[in-house]
Structures are given as C-alpha cells and as structure tokens.
Amino acid sequence: MAEFITDLFLVTNKDNDAGTFYLDTTMKGHDGNLYESSWRHKGKRLIGFKKSAEDEYVVTDIVVVTDDKDGPDDYAPIPITKDTREKGLKKHTVCYSRGHRQSSEKAITEIYLVNPSKNEAVPPYFTAVSETVNDITICFKTEAIPKIKRPAPSTPPKEQSQLLNTAPKVSVSSGIDGVPFQINPKFNTSSGGSDPLIANMLFVSPEDIQRKYQYSFDLEREVTR
C-alpha cells in the first residue's frame, strides 16, 4: 500500500532527519534548486516532505502562486524555509492543502521535479503545477485513500433462524395450577343465609351501658374523708 505525504516544506539544505525526503534534482538528474538566483542574490531552496502512516492528516494538493496573488482558500502557504526561517521563494509562494485521512478521497503519494527546458516531461498519472519556478515544474501523483471498513453485525444462519422459529413452545406452570379458588362460606355475604356470629350479636344502647356499668365511687369518697 502506498504511503501518503503528510507534510510539505522548503529548506536551504538537506539534513539527516529520519522520515524526511528532499528533492534536490529533477527526474533526469538536473539541478532541483527552486530559488531564482541572480548574480547579486544567491540561494538554494529545496522541497522537503514527510510520510507517516500515523499522521491523521495528509497532503491532498499543491499549487504555486506569484507573490502578487493570494493562495486558494483552505491552502497553507510556505512563506519561509523550515531550517533557516528565510523567505521561501523569490517571486512565488508554494501552497498546499491537507485533509483528514478518513474524510479525504485522495492524497499525494509522490512528488517529482521536471525541467521542460531540459526536455523533461511530466510522467503519466502525475499532475503538473501550473506555475514554473526557476524553470522547474512541480508535479505530483495522487492515489485513493483506502477506508477502514468495520465488520457488519453477524446474523444467524438461515437454518439456525428457522430452527429458532419452529422450536416448540414450553409452558411454565406453578404449584397451585388446577386448585379451585373459593371463599370461606363464613365470609360469603352474597348468599341468602345469615351468619351465626352476626345473628347472636345483641344491640346495646347507651342507656343500657350506663345502667349496667354505672359506679358511684361512694367507698372511695368515705376513705378520703
């Protein structure tokens, strides 16, 4: 599987930084310096980039604009060099866009430099940046980003599903199933008979209670005198 470019920058010289790639020559070995030097101003500008499978963001496009123009929206310019913090290019600005790995459809996997004045042509399947810098054209290749597919929830096989649907129904019974429920006849008030307990109860009036349980307290009064 192709590795995608995750960062892009300009430098004045190569170093031994692991995982960093530098373009100091064109496809046919000609000078890959992007700085438009003059006899008064000498300089060197190389494209550097990184590839990392752990980075969530990838480079999706590269453009070059002249200094009198702004780069496209959502594109990051490279105004200075990464190593010396000097002005990036003399008359141009390299801009690039980055997107999230899982939401982007394509990303850049390779960057080459070609010099048309040296009879170098853009290779097949590569996109050439419209603006040339110091007679050099930046071209890049994009590839589709594979997406991580989550496994679909498993479903039972057809035979197992049919077996579950045709399984016999098992009824659950308790220990009192079949026992008739009856009210004690003593508490059954719906029948015409009278309750013997209620029939033997006598009605007592307040006067009867007063006569039966009246007490004069005469003895207590004699003792306390």
For residue 68, count other CB atoms closer than 10 A to its CB.
Answer: 6
pTM above 0.85, yes or no: no
In the chain, the percentage of residues whose pLDDT exceeds 90 is 54
Is the model more confident about 106 or about 159?
A: 106
In this structure, what DSSP letter does residue 197 have? Answer: H
Residue type for 150, please? Answer: R
- The confidence score (pLDDT) of residue 212 equals 74
Cβ atoms of 112 and 29 closer than 8 Å: no
Give the chain's domains with CATH numbers.
Answer: 4-144 (2.100.10.50)
* Predicted confidence (pLDDT) at residue 86 exceeds the cutoff of 90: yes
Task: For residue range 134-178, list pLDDT tens digits in order.
Answer: 999 999 999 999 887 767 766 666 666 665 666 666 666 666 666
Nearest to 32 by CA among 129, 134, 184: 134
pLDDT band at 194 (very low <50, low <70, confident <90, very high): low
Q: Is 9 helix (H, G, I), strand (E, B) or coil?
A: strand
Mean pLDDT across the chain, nearest whole number? Answer: 83
Tokens of 4: 């995608």
Mean pLDDT throughout 92-112? 96
- The confidence score (pLDDT) of residue 17 equals 80
Is the model more confident about 96 or about 220?
A: 96
User: What's the start-to-end Cα distance of the chain, in Å?
Assistant: 122
* Predicted confidence (pLDDT) at residue 183 exceeds the cutoff of 90: no
In this structure, what DSSP letter does residue 118 have? Answer: G
Q: State the Cα–Cα distance between residues 192 and 109, nearest whole angstrom.
A: 101
* Predicted confidence (pLDDT) at residue 218 exceeds the cutoff of 60: yes
Is the model more confident about 79 or about 191?
A: 79
Is the model more confident about 16 or about 165?
A: 16
- The confidence score (pLDDT) of residue 204 equals 73
pLDDT band at 189 (very low <50, low <70, confident <90, very high): low
Mean pLDDT throughout 179-190? 64
Mean pLDDT throughout 47-71? 94
Mean pLDDT throughout 4-33? 93
Of 45-49, 67-71, 197-201, minimum mean pLDDT range: 197-201
